[in-house]
Amino acid sequence: MKPTVGRDVHYVSAGSPVQPDGSQMYPSTCRAAKVTEVGEDNVIGVMVMNPTGIHFHSIGATGGVKLEEGACINSDRLVWPSAPGTWHWPAHVQ
């Protein structure tokens, strides 16, 4: 599939910084996102929807977001790429 403006994708958030005790207030996780612009080689701009607000990654300002293949359903649990700052297509749930 080819990304186009307005499509729904998943964005893998970076999470908050790791604290001295090794914990994270907000761990890296998969978030809903909308494609806002399309560049070369599956690099896109996105509007990321978080529980605390929205965040934008534009191609011009941040370099955009790169595709990382691999979202899948495994044993009724969504597994997403571990690389923060990437996007993938939502898995199809039956």
Query: In the chain, what is the straight-line distance between the N-terminal and C-terminal CA atoms, in Å?
Result: 20
pLDDT, averaged across the chain: 84
53 domain residue, yes or no: yes
Which run of H or of E encompasses 59?
Answer: helix 59-62
Please list the helix, strand and coil fractions of the chain in percent, rounded to the nearest 5, in that order: 5, 45, 55
Question: What pTM, to 2 d.p., does this model score?
Answer: 0.80
Positive/negative CA dihedral, 25, 31, 36, 42: positive
pLDDT digit string (tens) for 21-64? 988 888 888 899 999 999 999 999 999 998 889 999 999 888 89
Domain interval for residue 33: 8-16+25-88
77 domain residue, yes or no: yes
93 domain residue, yes or no: no
1 domain residue, yes or no: no
**Whole-angstrom distance, CA of residue 20 vs CA of residue 90:** 34
Amino acid type, 79:
V
What total of structural domains would you count in the chain? 1
66 domain residue, yes or no: yes
